[in-house]
């Protein structure tokens, strides 16, 4: 009964991105203006949104997610021009990247203006901004007539939500509205790029690949544990985790299969329930275990899209241990491996 009373505080509205019900979206936009929390779909994962210019509203995000204040938020806007209001400097290279990749899964970190509160940026003098490639997200920002601060709509350090039901499961009762527009297309978070430094530095791998950024800006680098201050939360060493303990097996081919089978048997013999994340080709290689397929090994976009949802399915099955295959370290595979390594802690 208590659960039920908690749940009725969260309203779920369904909006088809191909046939938007603007009346509903206006209501959600108004809720943002009133300082409420609205979870909404983007092309990466679902976000937990609040008016980025309203400190009280932004504080609700941290409270709902149990997110520490040292983890800054991404501010979502609907067009390039608006960004000048929030940043001190809009470097030419960032403008070029914005024109090429926005709307899209690229977040850029700029020197911030005072208008953006320290709460949003965790006291940093920089602000992370992106234009999402999703009609509902863009519509919500326009209807709200505000920039929307939105981290992923999950409890802090949990896997990000790729379906509205994941948001409900994590945040029911503490978010005012959840907009359900079906599954997210990319399934992993945005790439975070620091454009305040030379060379430009990728702080978090994500939906725009290293390779495609490098084609435009050849000097771009990926920040390593040594070359960066701990400023991107996505950089925390334990993050994006399922409830079950995750083990990432880094061997290749036959060695990988053998190692996974061996580990899985060891845990099974100890009475543990074991789930396995695998590519389609290996579905039948682990008899007797709960195997969840993310996609064909070559189709890294599909593997990225399905990873978080399949991790959640194994959690729902109450697996104690999840053993994951590894994926090729190129394109979206880099982001997949980054998330799996962090989830493994």
The site for ligand AMP (CB under 6 A) is made up of 71-72, 74, 109, 121, 124, 126-128, 151-152, 189, 192, 203-204, 231-234
Provide the minimum distance between the beta carbon of 284 and ligand AMP in the complex, in angstroms, as a whole number. 35
121 or 326: whose CB is closer to ligand AMP?
Answer: 121
Provide the minimum distance between the beta carbon of 152 and Mg ion in the complex, in angstroms, as a whole number. 3
Nearest to 7 by CA among 176, 135, 163, 241: 176
49 or 275: whose CB is closer to ligand AMP?
Answer: 49
Structure tokens at 280: 């389609």
* Interacting partner of 263 out of Mg ion, ligand AMP, none (Cβ under 5 to 8 A depending on kind): none
170 or 325: whose CB is closer to Mg ion?
Answer: 170
Provide the minimum distance between the beta carbon of 102 and ligand AMP in the complex, in angstroms, as a whole number. 16
* Interacting partner of 206 out of ligand AMP, Mg ion, none (Cβ under 5 to 8 A depending on kind): none
| CB neighbours of residue 213 within 10 Å | 20
CA distances from 12 to 1, 38, 47, 270 (A): 19, 10, 14, 42
Question: What is the DSSP code string of 323-339?
Answer: EE----SSTHHHHHHHH
141 or 291: whose CB is closer to ligand AMP?
Answer: 141
Encoded one letter per residue, x for contact with Mg ion by CB under 5 A and - for no contact, window 137-166 reads: --------------xx--------------
* Interacting partner of 144 out of Mg ion, ligand AMP, none (Cβ under 5 to 8 A depending on kind): none
Instruction: By CB under 5 A, tell whether 44 contacts Mg ion.
Output: no
Provide the minimum distance between the beta carbon of 233 and ligand AMP in the complex, in angstroms, as a whole number. 3
* Interacting partner of 192 out of ligand AMP, Mg ion, none (Cβ under 5 to 8 A depending on kind): ligand AMP
| CB neighbours of residue 8 within 10 Å | 9
Provide the minimum distance between the beta carbon of 340 and ligand AMP in the complex, in angstroms, as a whole number. 16
150 or 276: whose CB is closer to Mg ion?
Answer: 150
Number of residues that bind Mg ion (CB under 5 A): 2
Per DSSP bridges, beta strands 47-51 and 148-149 are antiparallel
Provide the minimum distance between the beta carbon of 44 and ligand AMP in the complex, in angstroms, as a whole number. 8
159 or 319: whose CB is closer to ligand AMP?
Answer: 159
Provide the minimum distance between the beta carbon of 91 and ligand AMP in the complex, in angstroms, as a whole number. 15
* Interacting partner of 314 out of ligand AMP, Mg ion, none (Cβ under 5 to 8 A depending on kind): none
* Interacting partner of 54 out of Mg ion, ligand AMP, none (Cβ under 5 to 8 A depending on kind): none
153 or 248: whose CB is closer to ligand AMP?
Answer: 153
Q: What are phi and psi of 130, to 5 degrees?
A: -150, 155
- Please check whether residue 204 is in contact with residue 71, taking contact to mean a CB–CB distance below 8 angstroms: no
Question: What is the DSSP code string of 256-297?
Answer: HHHHHHHHHHHHHHTT--EEEEEEGGGGGGSTTSEEEEEE-T
Nearest to 135 by CA among 281, 272, 20, 263: 20
How far is residue 55's CA from residue 327's CA, in Å, rounded to a whole number?
40
Kindly state the helix (H) or strand (E) to which residue 300 belongs, with its residue range: helix 300-316
71 or 338: whose CB is closer to ligand AMP?
Answer: 71
Provide the minimum distance between the beta carbon of 306 and Mg ion in the complex, in angstroms, as a whole number. 18
How far is residue 318's CA from residue 320's CA, in Å, rounded to a whole number?
6
Kindly state the helix (H) or strand (E) to which residue 221 belongs, with its residue range: strand 221-222
How far is residue 248's CA from residue 345's CA, in Å, rounded to a whole number?
10
Per DSSP bridges, beta strands 74-76 and 11-14 are unpaired
Point out which residues bind Mg ion (CB under 5 A): 151-152
């Amino acid at each position: 009964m208590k659960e039920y009373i908690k749940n009725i505080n969260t309203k779920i509205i369904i909006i088809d991105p191909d046939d938007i019900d603007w009346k509903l979206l206006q209501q959600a936009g108004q809720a943002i203006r009133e300082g409420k929390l609205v979870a909404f779909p983007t092309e990466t994962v679902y976000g937990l949104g609040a008016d980025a210019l309203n400190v009280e509203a932004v504080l609700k995000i941290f409270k709902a997610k149990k997110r520490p204040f040292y983890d800054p938020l991404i501010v979502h806007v609907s067009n390039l021009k608006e960004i000048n209001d929030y940043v001190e400097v809009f470097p030419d290279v960032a403008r070029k990247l914005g024109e090429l990749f926005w709307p899209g899964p690229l977040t850029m970190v700029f020197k911030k203006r005072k208008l953006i509160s320290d709460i949003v940026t965790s006291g940093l003098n920089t602000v992370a901004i992106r234009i999402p490639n999703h009609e509902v997200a863009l519509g919500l920002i326009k209807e709200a007539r505000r920039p929307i601060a939105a981290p992923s709509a999950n409890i802090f350090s949990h896997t990000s939500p790729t379906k509205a039901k994941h948001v409900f499961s994590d945040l029911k009762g503490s978010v005012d509205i959840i907009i359900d527009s079906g599954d997210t297309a990319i399934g992993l978070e945005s790439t975070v790029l620091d454009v305040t430094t030379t060379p430009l530095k990728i702080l978090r791998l994500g939906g725009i690949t290293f390779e495609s950024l490098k084609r435009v800006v050849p000097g771009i680098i990926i920040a390593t544990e040594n070359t960066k201050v701990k400023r991107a939360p996505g950089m925390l060493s334990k993050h994006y985790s399922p409830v079950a303990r995750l083990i990432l097996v880094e061997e290749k081919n036959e060695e990988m299969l053998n190692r996974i089978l061996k580990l899985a048997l060891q845990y099974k013999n100890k009475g543990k329930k074991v789930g396995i994340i695998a590519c389609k080709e290996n579905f039948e290689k682990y008899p007797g275990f709960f195997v969840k397929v993310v996609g064909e090994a070559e189709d890294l976009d599909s593997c990225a899209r399905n990873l978080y949802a399949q991790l959640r399915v194994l959690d729902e099955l109450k697996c104690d241990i999840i053993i994951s295959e590894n994926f090729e370290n190129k394109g979206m595979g880099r982001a997949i491996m980054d998330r799996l390594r962090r989830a493994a802690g």
